[in-house]
Structure formats: C-alpha cells, structure tokens
Copies of this chain bind each other. A is one copy, B any other.
C-alpha cells in the first residue's frame, strides 16, 4: 500500500490540507517556497501517489473512460478490433484518461456488463453495439455520457465512417471501369435498420449502382462458426459465377474487407481469376498493412483511429456538460488495389 496524504503530512509536520493543496499546485501563491519544497521532498521520498478512488469519491471525476463492445471474440483477431482498441488507447492517453476495456460478456450476462460499467467509475463510455441490443436502453436511462461508434445508435451521439459515401465511390469506380452487372455480398445477419453501418453500405451501393446503370444481384456472406474464421462460397454465389458471359457478374462488392478476402480466395480455388474474370472490392481498409505477397485489395479506407479520436472528443464535451451533434460522419476514401 502506497503512502497516504496523511503520512506525508505527518512526515513534514503539516496538515493534510496544506499537503493536498501544495501537491496539486493549488496553493502556489499562498505558501512560501520553503514549505512547498519540504512537502514535495517528503512526497517524493515516500513515493506518494494520490489514491484515485478516494479522490473520485470526493470530486466526482474518475478520469476513466470505458470502451464496451458486444461483438464476439472471433473477430477479436482482426485488424478492425485492433485499430479501434489501439485508437482508444491513444485517444485516452492524449487526454490523460485511463482506459477501461469491457466486453466479452455472453448475451445472457447483460447484467454483469451493466453492473461493471455502472459501478460508478467511469466518466464516460464509448460503445460499439447494435442499436437494438437491450443494454442500449439501460445505458440510455442512465446519466452516464455515452458515444457510439461505427454503427449509429439513436439514443447516443454517434460517430461513424462515411458508409454511404464510400459505397457510392465504389459503385462509381466499378461503373467507370465498364462493369454492368455486379454481385453484392451482404452480411449474414439480416438487418433493415438504417442505423447499421452495413445496411447503409448495402443500400447506398445498390442505389448508386442503379443510378449508374449497373444491375445488382445479392448474396449472403455466411460465417460458418466462431472457430472456422472463414466464409465459404454460397451455392447462390456459385450459381451466379457459373452463368455465361453477358449474364455473369463481372464485379463483386463485399460489405467488408474480410468477406472480400474470402471471396477472392474462393474464386482462385475454382479457377476464377481476380480481377480478370471478376473484379472484387471490399470496405474497411483495415488490413492494408498486411506485409506480404497478398493481393492489395481495392477498398474503402475508413479511418477508424480518427473515428475513435472524434468519439473521445465528443465524450469529453458531454462530460463537461456541453451539447454535441447526434451524428458525426468521418470521411473515408477509396484505395485502389489489385483486385478491381
């Protein structure tokens, strides 16, 4: 157990008040140089570190920011998760906040998650959740400042990547390169909520593609299990790709990079050349740093570290009692690779 304020005070023969004031630089003008130095010296000698718990009890600020996500751990390996967490860490560090990482509670244990989050230790929370999760309502009923990222949650100010703009860029890119029939690979979970990032990507792509005179067929990217971290080719997709020239899609857009990567691998297996036979584009840009002979994916780079930095900034403003916009869209840009 580290030294307490009282011990430091005892050592220099002053009261806790004085020591507290001096140590926080609050009494810089009230106390003589000599006193301040004695206090500082004693604190250093005893390796005094203020007890954050006690300080909070008094002051109502913990300087802790939390991040909660309900997404499973299967995806914890991927670059997206890594970018988000690393970004949060940096953003917190820049603001001298401690960073508490929540998550990995099974669905039934919403209570545990809620209890952990609410046990009075956080100044604010950044969440990555689906808008319909029950926990959302519970958190919203609270006075805890919360900011959502990646998917919009109507209850909270949300910071998202430019999903619609990105999709439009992709559609335009493909149209410009002469594609007329394109396959769109959607996420396995059906979802119709415009809040959700993948829905925005999907709809915006479909609309822009139509506008540009491309026809769009759709398929579902089915994640088989948490262990087998890979998406097979569906029979629907196999069907489309087996159609004769003139009917076969010449391009495929995928809701995220991972689905795109898997599609490319599956194509190669069955002798479909990418991009010659099928152009493939993704969405994310997270894995652009994979350092090897892998094909460079044509994709939208969403700047996740910027998303979390912005989210943290908004959170701070909320903590300070200020108004913030309910939806903030962080620009994304197209990265032309080898696959389309």
Which residue among A64, A76, A142 has the maximum number of chain B CB atoms within 10 Å of its CB? A76
**Complexed CA–CA distance, A50 and B116 (Å):** 10
> Is B60 within 8 A of A57, CB to CB?
no
Measured between beta carbons, the chain B residues less than 8 angstroms from A105 are 93
> Is B293 within 8 A of A120, CB to CB?
no
A93-105 vs B: 1/0 string, CB under 8 Å?
A: 1001011111111
| Copies of this chain present | 2
Measured between beta carbons, the chain B residues less than 8 angstroms from A34 are none
Measured between beta carbons, the chain B residues less than 8 angstroms from A261 are 290-292
Stretch from A6-14, A126-134, A262-270, A309-317 contacting the other chain: A262-270
Q: Take A52-B121, A120-B52 as given contacts and tell me if A90 and B104 are in contact as well, using a CB distance cutoff of 8 Å.
A: yes
* Cβ-closest chain B residue relative to A53: B53
A115 at the A/B interface (Cβ < 8 Å)? Answer: yes
Chain A residues touching B, range: 35 or more
> Is A121 within 8 A of B294, CB to CB?
no
A80-112 vs B: 1/0 string, CB under 8 Å?
A: 011101100110010010111111110000001
Measured between beta carbons, the chain B residues less than 8 angstroms from A231 are 291
A221-237 vs B: 1/0 string, CB under 8 Å?
A: 00000000111000000
Q: How far is the CB of A125 from chain B (nearest CB, A)?
A: 13
**Complexed CA–CA distance, A204 and B331 (Å):** 49
> Is B49 within 8 A of A115, CB to CB?
yes
> Is A77 within 8 A of B143, CB to CB?
no
A118 at the A/B interface (Cβ < 8 Å)? Answer: yes
> Is A49 within 8 A of B265, CB to CB?
no
Q: How far is the CB of A2 from chain B (nearest CB, A)?
A: 6
A51 at the A/B interface (Cβ < 8 Å)? Answer: yes
* Cβ-closest chain B residue relative to A100: B100
**Complexed CA–CA distance, A118 and B78 (Å):** 32
Measured between beta carbons, the chain B residues less than 8 angstroms from A99 are 100-102
Q: How far is the CB of A31 from chain B (nearest CB, A)?
A: 22
State the A residues within 8 Å of B (CB).
Answer: 1-2, 47, 49-54, 56-57, 60, 62, 64, 73, 76-79, 81-83, 85-86, 89-90, 93, 96, 98-105, 112, 115-116, 118-121, 141-143, 229-231, 258, 261-262, 264-265, 268, 287, 289-295
By Cβ-Cβ distance, the 7 closest A-B pairs, closest first, are A76-B86, A51-B120, A53-B53, A52-B119, A82-B82, A261-B292, A294-B294
